[in-house]
Amino acid sequence: MTAPGLPMPVPAPGLPARVRIHEVGARDGLQNESAVVPTEVKAEFVRRLVDAGLTTVEATSFVHPKWVPQLADAEQLYPMLADLDARLPVLVPNDRGLDRALALGARRIAVFGSATESFAKANLNRTVEESLAMFTPVVARAKEEQAHVRGYLSMCFGDPWEGPVPVAQVVRVCRALLDMGCDELSLGDTIGVATPGHVQALLAALNEAGVPTDRLGVHFHDTYGQALANTLAALQHGVSTVDASAGGLGGCPYAKSATGNLATEDLVWMLHGLGIETGVDLGRLTATSGWMAGQLGRPSPSRTVRALSHKE
């Protein structure tokens, strides 16, 4: 615990008054967990996240159960969340996934593309063009059903095989995703190598290509400790949608290929310190992440969760 009144809200000029946090812990955070989490626990996790004030909580993925066994219970989980007053988007990898999501009444979906050929090949077993061709009818049909579509784009800054990713290449794939009907994009630094100047350069290049900032979210990983500094740089550019994962869930930070997501609590600490509204109750969120860490049997990698959990 820390003294009351902290963080002290001191606004900085030119930042958004309010930030919408796109909470990914229940989907992106859990999908790499090898031990399958019971469906009831997942439902309780989402419920607690909403109770903590998060308004957008990505709930699950309608991916083939063979690829992500952890999320094989999407059909069971999604209806358990029907009474929650929040946006509960779901990931759909393809046409079949969209069918499943739509059949359950989901009207907020997300597709997941890659800015680089190497990752498109590794993750989707397709070229970037082939993956865009695969998404086109998915997004078109989702829009016919009045669904809101988010396009995730991974490897927007660096790629483990290709190194730095040219800004123009990212802009081209972003344009393609918007042109096929995506309502918003999430710019992913999947391996956590971005730095603040690179973030602002990509955002500026997207603006120049006709993409308004209010259709862009950012999705930073803390692999090299850069996620929050990059978030600040994005806020300074006017971005007001930020992805984060409660407790920093997602990839084990102590393991090979550490790829932890930005922890929602660390983000909220900064935003509240900047006087930016989030609607989140930090104490309740921290308690939720502490509870989930208990379910997973290991401590949260979020520094804020660790600091606030130590009663002195």
Q: Does 164 bind its own copies (CB under 8 A)?
A: yes
**For residue 164, how many other CB atoms are within 10 A of its CB?**
11
| Neighbour-count burial of 105, counting CB atoms closer than 10 A to its CB (0-12 exposed, 13-18 middle, 19+ buried) | exposed
Q: Decide if residue 297 touches its own copies (CB under 8 A).
A: no
Contact yes or no for 193/229 (Cβ under 8 A): no
Give Cα separations from 297 to 35, 226, 290 (angstroms).
10, 27, 10
| The residue to which tokens 């993956």 are assigned | 131
From the list 156, 174, 182, 252, the catalytic residue is 252
Site residues for its own copies, window 166-205 (CB under 8 A)?
A: 191-198, 200-201
The answer to whether residue 252 is catalytic is yes
Contact indicator for 242, 19 with CB cutoff of 8 Å: yes
196 with 230: CB under 8 angstroms?
yes
Please say which residue, 73 or 159, places its beta carbon nearer to its own copies: 159
3 state DSSP class of 55: coil
Helical ranges in 156-311 per DSSP H: 167-179, 196-208, 227-236, 264-273, 282-296, 303-309
> Is residue 158 within the footprint of its own copies (CB under 8 A)?
yes
Span 232-271, contacts to its own copies by CB under 8 A: 232-233, 253-254, 256-258, 263, 266, 269-270
How many residues touch its own copies under the rule CB under 8 A: the total is 60
Q: Which is nearer to its own copies, 111 or 308 (CB)?
A: 308
Candidates 53, 69, 238, 275; binder of its own copies (CB under 8 A) is: 275
What is the nearest approach in angstroms of its own copies to the Cβ of residue 190? 12
Q: Residues 31, 226, 241, 261: which binds its own copies (CB under 8 A)?
A: 226
Q: Determine, following the binding rule CB under 8 A, whether residue 299 of this chain makes contact with its own copies.
A: yes
Residue 312 found at the interface with its own copies (CB under 8 A): yes
Query: 52 vs 191, which CB is nearer to its own copies?
Result: 191
Q: CA-CA distance, 227 to 260, in Å (whole number)?
A: 10
10 binds its own copies (CB under 8 A): yes
Longest dimension (CA), the chain: 56
Cα–Cα distance for residue pair 206/171, rounded to 1 Å = 6
For the bound state, the minimum distance from the C-beta of residue 236 to its own copies, rounded and expressed in Å, comes to 8
d(CA 98, CA 94) in angstroms, rounded, equals 6
Whole-angstrom distance, CA of residue 280 vs CA of residue 270: 12
Q: Which of 274, 284, 291, 296 binds its own copies (CB under 8 A)?
A: 274
Q: Minimum CB separation from its own copies for residue 74, in Å?
A: 31
Tokens encoding 255: 């393991």
Where does this chain touch its own copies (CB under 8 A) — which range of 10-18, 49-57, 101-109, 122-130?
A: 10-18
Q: Which is nearer to its own copies, 187 or 191 (CB)?
A: 191
220 touching its own copies, by CB under 8 A: no
Residues tagged active-site: 252
Binding site for its own copies (CB under 8 A): 2-12, 157-164, 191-198, 200-201, 222-226, 228-229, 231-233, 253-254, 256-258, 263, 266, 269-270, 272-275, 299, 302-304, 306-307, 310, 312
